[in-house]
Amino acid sequence: MFLKLLLLTLALVAIAVIGMAIRILLVPKGKFPDIHIGHNKKMREMGIKCARHNDIGRISINRTNEREGRDLKN
């Protein structure tokens, strides 16, 4: 019973992967959708930015403040 279920699951996953591959290969200019926030025009227009880039900016500001002896916690 377990083996049948495993084979059925593997077959369904294989069909899904093949379906995605066919779409990418056969559709003109087929590619994976770009879901990164920084590359999405609509999200940029709404003012939504990438959290990773925001964190990088905060880290560099905090390091600059530490070097200059500023304490921004108060």
Q: Does residue 39 share a domain with residue 12? A: no
User: Which residue type does 38 have?
Assistant: G
Q: Does residue 27 share a domain with residue 38? A: no
Q: Does residue 40 share a domain with residue 28? A: no
Report the alpha-carbon angle 40-45-51, nearest 5: 60
Q: Does residue 40 share a domain with residue 27? A: no
| Domain extent at residue 59 | 34-74
Predicted pLDDT of residue 74:
46
**Count: domains in the chain:** 2
Q: Does residue 38 share a domain with residue 3? A: no
Q: Residue 15 pLDDT > 60, yes or no? A: yes
Burial of residue 43, with CB atoms counted within 10 A of its CB: 0-12 exposed, 13-18 middle, 19 or more buried: middle
pLDDT, tens digit (0-9, with 9 covering 90-100), for 16-52: 999 888 877 887 776 666 677 777 778 778 877 777 7
Q: Does residue 45 share a domain with residue 22? A: no
Q: Which two tokens stand for residue 62?
A: 């905090």
Share of the chain above pLDDT 70, in %: 61
d(CA 18, CA 24): 10
